[in-house]
Copies of this chain bind each other. A is one copy, B any other.
Amino acid sequence: MFEARLPQGDLLKKILEAVKDLVTDANFDCSSTGISLQAMDSSHVSLVSLLMRADGFDHFRCDRNISIGLNLLAMSKVVRCVGNNDAVTMKADDNGDLVTLMFESQDGSKVSDWQLRGLDIDSERLGIPSTDYSSVVTMPSAEFARICRDLSVIGDTVVITTTKEGVTFASKGELGTGKIALRQSAAIDDDADSPGVSIELQEPVSQSFALRYLSFFTKATPLAPTVTISMSNGVPLVVEYPVGDMGHIRFYLAPKVEDDA
């Protein structure tokens, strides 16, 4: 038996909004340590990896490891019905055939029960090697979303370049060219209202990526005020958003090899 209760149900809503357009079917892999999900997008270009640790739930019970396969679009439709301050409980029987989502309003006056059929999804879990990245950029998530949107006006590829001074995002296309430069904030104070731009630079990186996928990733923007972008030459970049204090959602995307940006 699996049962987990998340006091801030809107976290689940934001997670589903972040992945539903990228991934159709996926397994929620539940164990005593928490819930994880790993899936390629439907064109097998990018990879999503979600982690929600057990200690972030106010109740978590998982008698034995179980994979709950769900259609994420269907699940997102149901999860969109979560009220802003609702708690969400996920339940599944031992074979994961029937999945229950229960939403409770804070004062307990409204309770909804939703049952979805579990799916049998073949999936191979990729080992993602932990990497030391040459450049790790932390920046406001809304700014990253805006840059992806703005550059999409110009082209479909972005060249991200890091230096000691900052990070630039550049694109070109029929209309012309666009280049956006962010300077590393002189001092990153802990002002949560306006998180700055910080760069941990072991060596400079310059890589091209498909804007279409980066834009998909930015659907996770409501999850957190900051996003972390990790890059090394020749390996996939990682775009990471924290999920409350309990985990993260990570998107991986390989650089474009041709230098046609």
Chain A interface (Cβ within 8 Å of chain B)? 74, 77-78, 80-81, 108-117, 143, 150, 153-154, 175-183, 185, 196-197
Instruction: Give, as a whole number of angstroms, the nearest-CB distance from A79 to chain B.
Output: 10
One of B116, B177, B196 near A114 (C-beta < 8 A): B177
A179:B77 contact, CB within 8 angstroms: no
A78:B197 contact, CB within 8 angstroms: no
B114:A178 contact, CB within 8 angstroms: yes
A185 surroundings in chain B (CB, below 8 A):
109
Please report the C-alpha to C-alpha distance between residue A143 and residue B114 in the assembled complex, in whole angstroms: 18
A112 surroundings in chain B (CB, below 8 A):
150, 178-181
A183:B116 contact, CB within 8 angstroms: no
B114:A183 contact, CB within 8 angstroms: no
Instruction: Give, as a whole number of angstroms, the nearest-CB distance from A248 to chain B.
Output: 26
A to B CB contacts below 8 Å, 28 in the list: A74-B175, A74-B176, A77-B153, A78-B154, A78-B178, A80-B150, A80-B153, A81-B150, A81-B153, A81-B178, A109-B182, A109-B185, A109-B197, A110-B182, A110-B183, A111-B180, A111-B181, A111-B183, A112-B150, A112-B178, A112-B179, A112-B180, A113-B178, A113-B179, A114-B154, A114-B179, A117-B175, A117-B176
A183 surroundings in chain B (CB, below 8 A):
108-111
Please report the C-alpha to C-alpha distance between residue A143 and residue B183 in the assembled complex, in whole angstroms: 43
Please report the C-alpha to C-alpha distance between residue A143 and residue B178 in the assembled complex, in whole angstroms: 38
Please report the C-alpha to C-alpha distance between residue A78 and residue B117 in the assembled complex, in whole angstroms: 46
Nearest-neighbor residue (CB-CB) of A117 within chain B: B176
Nearest-neighbor residue (CB-CB) of A151 within chain B: B81
Instruction: Give, as a whole number of angstroms, the nearest-CB distance from A74 to chain B.
Output: 5
Please report the C-alpha to C-alpha distance between residue A197 and residue B110 in the assembled complex, in whole angstroms: 10
